[in-house]
Amino acid sequence: MSATHDATHDEAPIAARVRHVEALLEQRGWLAPGEVDERIDALAAGGSPANGAAIVARAWVDPGFRARLLADANTAIGELGLSMAGGLQEQQLIVVANGPDEHHVVVCTLCSCYPIALLGPSPGWYKSEAYRSRVVREPRAVLREFGLELPASTRITVWDASAESRYMVLPRRPAGTDDLDEGRLAALVTRKGLIGTAAV
> From start to end of the chain, where are the E strands?
92-97, 102-107, 155-160, 165-170
pLDDT tens for 20-65 read 888 888 888 887 887 766 665 555 556 789 999 999 999 999 999 9
Residues 87, 170, single domain; the answer is: yes
Residue 86 sits in a domain whose CATH number is 3.90.330.10
In-domain check, residue 42 = no
Phi–psi pair at 42, nearest 5 degrees: -65, -35
Q: Which domain holds residue 11?
A: 3-33
Residues 29, 87, single domain; the answer is: no
76-85 LR contacts (CB < 8 Å, sep 24+): 77/118, 80/51, 80/54, 80/55, 82/51, 82/54, 82/55, 82/117, 82/118, 83/117, 84/115, 84/117, 84/118, 84/166
For residue 162, the one-letter residue type is S
Beta pairing partners, 160: 107
Q: What is the pTM of this model?
A: 0.78
> What's the whole-number mean pLDDT along residues 53-79?
98
For Cα atoms 193, 195, 200, give the angle at the middle one, nearest 5 degrees.
5
Residues 134, 185, single domain; the answer is: yes
Residues 15, 57, single domain; the answer is: no
pLDDT tens for 132-178 read 999 999 999 999 999 999 999 999 999 999 988 999 999 999 999 99
Residues 56, 28, single domain; the answer is: no
Residues 58, 142, single domain; the answer is: yes
Q: Are 119 and 196 in contact (CB under 8 A)?
A: no
Catalytic residue numbers read: 108, 111-113
